[in-house]
Amino acid sequence: MLSEDELIKQCKKGDRKAQKLLYDKYASAMFALCQRYMATTEEAEDALITGFTLIFSKLDTYKKEGSFEGWMRKIMVNNAISCLRANEKYKNLEDEQCLENVGSETPNPQQRLEAHEIVKKIQSLPIGYRTVFNLVVVEGYTYEETAKMMNINIGTVRSQLNRARKELQKQLKMYRD
C-alpha cells in the first residue's frame, strides 16, 4: 500500500493506477460533499467527476500545508459552486427564493432521524439557502468568505442562512422528544 505522499507523487506523474487509488480512497467522502450542494444525484456525480479532474490537474499546487483531504475538499466546494453557477436553473443564487421545493412529507414523530435523512432535508432547501448553509455551517467558512465565494453580499449570506436554519428547524421539529 502506497503512503499518501507516494500516491500523490505517482498521480503527479500521470500514473493511472495511482489516480484510481486516490479516487477510490476519497470518492465517497467527496461525493457526500457534492450531494450536499447539488439537488440531484446526477448533478452530484457530475460535480464529483469535474472536481477530481480539477484535483488531478492542480496536484502540483498542493503545498503540504494542512491536510491533503482538506485541500481536496476546498477544490470540491469551489467546483460545486461553479457547477451551480453554470446551471441555468440556478443562475442567480442571490435571489430570495420561495420554499415551494421544500419537502413536506410528515414522518412518524416516533421515528429517529438518521444522518441520510438530515442530508435529504438539507438537499430539499432552495439552492441559495442550501449553498449558504453548507458553506457556513458544514464547511465552516465565514460569512465574508461565503459572500466572496458565491459573489453575493454579506447581508444576503446572513439572510439566507437564517432562513435555511428556520426552515430546517421547522422540518425537524417533529423529531424532537
Global pTM reads: 0.70
| The pLDDT of residue 1 | 74
Identify residue 76 by its one-letter amino acid code: M
The pLDDT profile of the chain, 177 residues, written as one tens digit per residue, is 788 999 999 999 999 999 999 999 999 999 999 998 888 889 999 999 999 999 999 999 999 888 999 999 999 999 999 888 887 655 555 544 433 333 334 444 444 556 677 778 888 889 899 999 999 998 889 999 999 999 899 999 999 999 999 998 888 776 664
| The pLDDT of residue 100 | 34
| The pLDDT of residue 170 | 86
For 123-143, letters b (16+ CB in 10 Å) and e give bbbbbbbbbbbbbbeebebeb
Torsion angle, alpha carbons of 66, 146, 173, 117, to 10: -60
Q: Single out the residue of 111, 135, 110 nearest to residue 122, CA to CA.
A: 135
